[in-house]
Structure 1
Amino acid sequence: MATIKDISKLSGVSPSAVSRILNHDSSLSVSNETKIKVLAAAEELEYVTIKERKRNSVKEKRLTIAIVEWYSESALIEDPYYLYLEKMVEKKLAQEDIDTFKIVNIDGTYTSAVNAQVDGLIAIGRFSPSQVTQLTSFSPYIVFLDSSPDPSLYDSLLINTEQGITLAMKHLFELGHTKIGFVCGHVIDDNGGEGFDLRKKAYYAFMKENNLFSPSLIFEGDRLSYEQGRILTKRILDEKERPTALVVANDTMATGVLSLLQESGLSVPSDMSLVGFNDLPSVKFLDPPLTSVQIPMQLLAMTAVDLLRQRITGDYPVPLKIFLPTMLKVRKSTAIPHK
């Protein structure tokens, strides 16, 4: 393997200057001719810098990446979105021949049943500052999915939820709906506390921009769950002037809304149009199949794994915060308003 001394001997440039040229030291004042001599000698001798050697050794090594679960089993029952996302990440890791195991929260402490060295973490969900500190004890390399607790330190992947709600609102508006309700629940912010839902923000913006906003059109519960969807639908049905369409903050809640509407003798979409959010695999099998904002879960998983691998190998100098777009999957739960 070629050394700095070998390049110095071949190029006729001092070893210290060779080292600084190869490490792109901008404070070094040498002629372009000298730089060319050094770089040509390095290429001829097939010299590899220490940084590149380290990067190549990491690339050749079989990686071990842990998946961190923020959510509880009861939360997954209420909303399986994170479960589907985790399965996508596991599938991508398997395709890349990367070893993996789970880190779970037991009584406030993150732990793993596997006693193994981990190269990096993919943390799915929303974590408090103290939880993030715990995670760094496993590895400094963390990619967060669905939150960005500190964009100056950690890579993060988020969904453009505002764009998704705007797509849903435009779809209903173009069908002729003006009395559009919004069904939602309390949400957790990027640091694990109670936050303001960006979906609600997008709903506000669209309705106000089109002079359609009324506080009576917002139906907010405690959680984003099937049961809360049913409870809030009872309130909707008690309204003297009901909305002609509903945008619901997630598919699980929308399924609860749909079930109570149908039990009450209303037809979707003839009596009320309905749009969900997340486009879970199950919603296309509902009757009617649910129009829903689609989250690119496969792309999320693929990007998370690729980003973490590049972070571990040192390919990116600064953390990245990436927003992925959404699409609207139009099915049979939306139609022109009933006259």
Structure 2
Amino acid sequence: MVTIKEIASAVGVSSATVSRVLNYDPTLSISTKKRQAIIETAEALNYATPRNRGRGAGAMQGLKFALVHFLQPAQELIDPYYVGVRLGIENRCQALKIEVVKVFHNGNLPEAAILQGASGVVAVGHHYGEEVHWLRRHSRHLVFADFAPDDDVDDSVMSDVSIAMNRLLDGVYGMGYRRIGFLGWIDAFRDKDDIHSERRCRAFIQWMTKAGLYDPELCMVEKLTPDSGYTLAKAMLSKPNPPKILVTCNDNMAIGAYRAIHEMGLRIPDDVAVASFNDIPVAQFLGPPLSTVKIPAEVIGETAVDLLVERLTGRDVAKKVILGTEMVWRGSTMARAAAPGA
């Protein structure tokens, strides 16, 4: 496990500064450049996958791939999971000696010439509707990373968070938890008429309903903001019969939930447990360390590059690659819930 001291040494800052950045301390005054260096270094030092090592043979010099990100740079720093996806793309391209042109979201579609001048395009994150059609029109070869359109026209690589949610809920149920709350966001792009259309949320409702445990009062979603985890956790834990465990849509929301729990004078996991998704580097440094589903962000990025290379070497059938996830149990959940019906 990478340590805060190792990250601090690599960036040239104090361990306290690293800890405050990784815990999203809103009172810390630090430059965006330094914050980015800390987050990227934490992700890179955690990057232990062997696939991008020693695979430079057959390098494809002279190629250029465009990376089209659905987030703005500042938004990416708020969600380091996508830093991991991007680093996987960049590191794999570096191993193959492929140039990468990065295009972040700025509210408008990127210049078509950027896509047209690239040998292939990796679209990172959620792209919907006309944006997908636009990407297809201007890309020679296109692959989606951490997202898959509903059709089978393009290559894509992602993890199945619905399966992961089922595994997570199986685990907490086996520990004895029954009063289970969910904190998530509204995926208006997927279905503007259904506030519960986001895949983790939908899987949560289906699993809980089948188990006879679903309580609509314990399923809260809102338009995603940096404070969503905090505000939703505070609202849910203020209810007359609050849950004994909170399942959050991602680790960033879990960090906000931790803050709300601590402010309310509650203890994790004694009073309320927390489990989440992504396993960003900070998850292991929270107090207590966060139980979370590890989604292989870097490998998603690597695989997206490999899919483009396959296209360039002749494959003409679309592939949808689903990568496995791993449930990492840590101190934010008990090995066994405190009492039956918890």
Q: Where on the TM-score scale, by shorter chain, does this alignment land: which range?
A: 0.7 to 0.9
| TM-aligned CA deviation for residue 106 of structure 1 | 4.4
CA, structure 1 residues 60+331, in 2 after alignment: closer, same or farther (shift >3 Å)? closer
Q: Aligned runs of 1:15-164 on 2, under 5 Å?
A: 62-111=62-111, 117-136=117-136, 138-149=138-149, 151-164=151-164
The alignment partner of 2:298 has SS state of helix
Tell which deviates more after alignment, 66-75 or 257-266. 66-75
| TM-aligned CA deviation for residue 218 of structure 1 | 0.8
The corresponding residue for 1:288 is 288
The corresponding residue for 1:320 is 319
CA, structure 1 residues 60+185, in 2 after alignment: closer, same or farther (shift >3 Å)? closer
Q: Which letter maps to 1:68?
A: V
The alignment partner of 1:110 has SS state of coil
CA contact (8 A) 2:144 2:154 kept: yes
The alignment partner of 1:147 has SS state of coil
| TM-aligned CA deviation for residue 146 of structure 1 | 2.1
TM-score between both structures, scaled by the size of structure 1: 0.75
CA contact (8 A) 2:121 2:139 kept: yes
Cα distance in 1, alignment partners of residues 240 and 271 from structure 2? 15
Cα offsets for 1:181-237 (capped at 9, x unmatched): 1111112546999871111121112212221111111122221x4411111122122
| TM-aligned CA deviation for residue 318 of structure 1 | 1.3
Cα distance in 2, alignment partners of residues 150 and 81 from structure 1? 23
CA contact (8 A) 1:104 1:111 kept: no
Q: Which letter maps to 1:64?
A: K
CA contact (8 A) 2:180 2:243 kept: yes
CA, structure 1 residues 96+76, in 2 after alignment: closer, same or farther (shift >3 Å)? same
The alignment partner of 2:268 has SS state of coil
CA, structure 1 residues 338+160, in 2 after alignment: closer, same or farther (shift >3 Å)? same
CA, structure 1 residues 115+130, in 2 after alignment: closer, same or farther (shift >3 Å)? closer
Aligned residue pairs total: 280
Superposed CA RMSD: 2.6
The corresponding residue for 1:222 is 223
Cα offsets for 1:81-122 (capped at 9, x unmatched): 222211221111112221111134445231389799310011
Q: Aligned runs of 1:270-281 on 2, under 5 Å?
A: 270-281=270-281
CA, structure 1 residues 113+86, in 2 after alignment: closer, same or farther (shift >3 Å)? farther
Cα distance in 1, alignment partners of residues 143 and 114 from structure 2? 20
| TM-aligned CA deviation for residue 150 of structure 1 | 5.8
Tell which deviates more after alignment, 106-115 or 244-253. 106-115
Cα offsets for 1:169-189 (capped at 9, x unmatched): 111111110111111111254
| TM-aligned CA deviation for residue 320 of structure 1 | 1.2
Cα distance in 1, alignment partners of residues 115 and 172 from structure 2? 52
CA, structure 1 residues 194+210, in 2 after alignment: closer, same or farther (shift >3 Å)? closer
Q: Which letter maps to 1:100?
A: V
TM-score between both structures, scaled by the size of structure 2: 0.75
The alignment partner of 1:232 has SS state of helix
CA, structure 1 residues 200+150, in 2 after alignment: closer, same or farther (shift >3 Å)? closer
The corresponding residue for 2:269 is 269
Cα distance in 1, alignment partners of residues 150 and 179 from structure 2? 39
Q: Give % identity.
A: 28
Cα distance in 1, alignment partners of residues 279 and 118 from structure 2? 33
CA contact (8 A) 2:60 2:96 kept: no
Cα distance in 1, alignment partners of residues 150 and 182 from structure 2? 30
Cα distance in 2, alignment partners of residues 214 and 106 from structure 1? 39
CA, structure 1 residues 142+180, in 2 after alignment: closer, same or farther (shift >3 Å)? same
CA contact (8 A) 2:148 2:156 kept: yes
The corresponding residue for 2:214 is 213
Q: Which letter maps to 1:132?
A: V
| TM-aligned CA deviation for residue 308 of structure 1 | 0.7
Q: Which letter maps to 1:118?
A: A
The corresponding residue for 1:255 is 255
The corresponding residue for 2:177 is 177
Q: Which letter maps to 1:199?
A: R
| TM-aligned CA deviation for residue 312 of structure 1 | 1.5
The corresponding residue for 2:331 is 332
Cα offsets for 1:275-310 (capped at 9, x unmatched): 011111111111111000110123212211111100
| TM-aligned CA deviation for residue 74 of structure 1 | 4.4
Tell which deviates more after alignment, 121-130 or 254-263. 121-130
Q: Which letter maps to 1:323?
A: I
Structure 1 gaps, min length 5: 1-57
Cα distance in 2, alignment partners of residues 71 and 263 from structure 1? 30
CA, structure 1 residues 143+330, in 2 after alignment: closer, same or farther (shift >3 Å)? same
Q: Which letter maps to 1:203?
A: F
CA, structure 1 residues 288+103, in 2 after alignment: closer, same or farther (shift >3 Å)? same
Cα distance in 1, alignment partners of residues 121 and 332 from structure 2? 39
CA, structure 1 residues 150+205, in 2 after alignment: closer, same or farther (shift >3 Å)? closer
Cα distance in 2, alignment partners of residues 193 and 72 from structure 1? 26
Cα distance in 2, alignment partners of residues 245 and 273 from structure 1? 4
CA, structure 1 residues 167+95, in 2 after alignment: closer, same or farther (shift >3 Å)? same
